[in-house]
Amino acid sequence: MAAARQASAIVKKQLQLRDHLWPNKETWLWDRKKQKGFTTIPKTMPLILKIMDEITKGQPVSSTYLTLWCSTWDNSFAALNKRGDMANASGFGGQRGEHTWSTRMKMLHELQFIDIKPGKSGAMGYAIIWNPHFVIRWLHFIKTPGLTEASYNALVETAIELGAADMTVAWQQPHAPTAPTATAPPGAVVKG
C-alpha cells in the first residue's frame, strides 16, 4: 500500500511540473483513460527491443514484436489474420513485405518470445506473447549469442529501479536445478 501512495505522490508532482512547463496543453496529450486503442507495455520495453535486435543481428525483430504487442487487447494474445497490415506496421512493404514479416515472426518464435498456433488463416493463425523478462532471463542463462552482458545488466538495473520483480526475483528452474535464477519459457528445450 505504501508503494501505491508513493507512486501516486510522484505522479502528482510530475503532473504539477508538466502543467507548469506546458500550461493549458492537456487537450493535446494522449490519455488512455479518455481514448480507445491502447495497450499496456513494460517500462523496460526499449531495452527489451534493443536486446532482441542485438540477438538477431542484421535481421531486427523489434518492430515485428512491437506491432504484435500492439495487436493484443492486454491479454498477450493476437490473431494473425491481417498479415499485410501487420507487415506494413512492422515496416515491411512491397511484394516481399509479408514474407519478411513471417520470417521475423518465426525468429521470435525460435527465440521463444512468442508461440504460434495454426488457425483458419493458415499455419500462422494465432500468437501468444510470453513475458519478455522471463524469456530474456532464460536466453541469458543459456548464453544466447548476441545477448551482451552490458545490455542484460542494463535491463536488470532498470527493472530494479522500477520494482519489476519478474526480472529480478530468484526462482527455481524446474528442469535444470543448476539454474536457480532462470526459468525456461513454455516449450523451451532444456538441456541437462
Please check the confidence at residue 156 and state whether its pLDDT lies above 50.
yes
Pick from 177, 175, 179: nearest CA to 188: 175
| pLDDT for the residue numbered 192 | 43
Q: How many helices (H) and strands (E) does the chain have?
A: 8, 3
What value does the mean pLDDT take over residues 119-143?
95
- 3-state class percentages of the chain: helix first, strand second, coil last, to nearest 5: 50, 10, 45
Cα–Cα distance, 23 to 30 (Å, whole number):
16
Is 117 strand, coil or helix?
strand
Output the pLDDT for position 7.
Answer: 73
pLDDT given at position 185: 67
Distance CA 183, CA 170 (A): 10
Supply the pLDDT for residue 8: 82
- Per-residue model confidence as pLDDT tens digits over 78-102: 999 999 999 999 999 988 999 999 9
- Residue type present at position 143: K
Q: What is the mean pLDDT of the chain?
A: 88
For cell 536486446, the residue is 51
- pTM for this predicted structure: 0.84
Give residue 187's pLDDT.
Answer: 60
Q: What percent of the chain is predicted at pLDDT more than 90?
A: 72
Q: Where are the domains of the chain?
A: 56-129
User: What's the CATH code, domain 56-129?
Assistant: 1.10.10
Question: pLDDT grade, residue 178 (50/70/90)?
Answer: very low
- Higher pLDDT: 144 or 186? It is 144
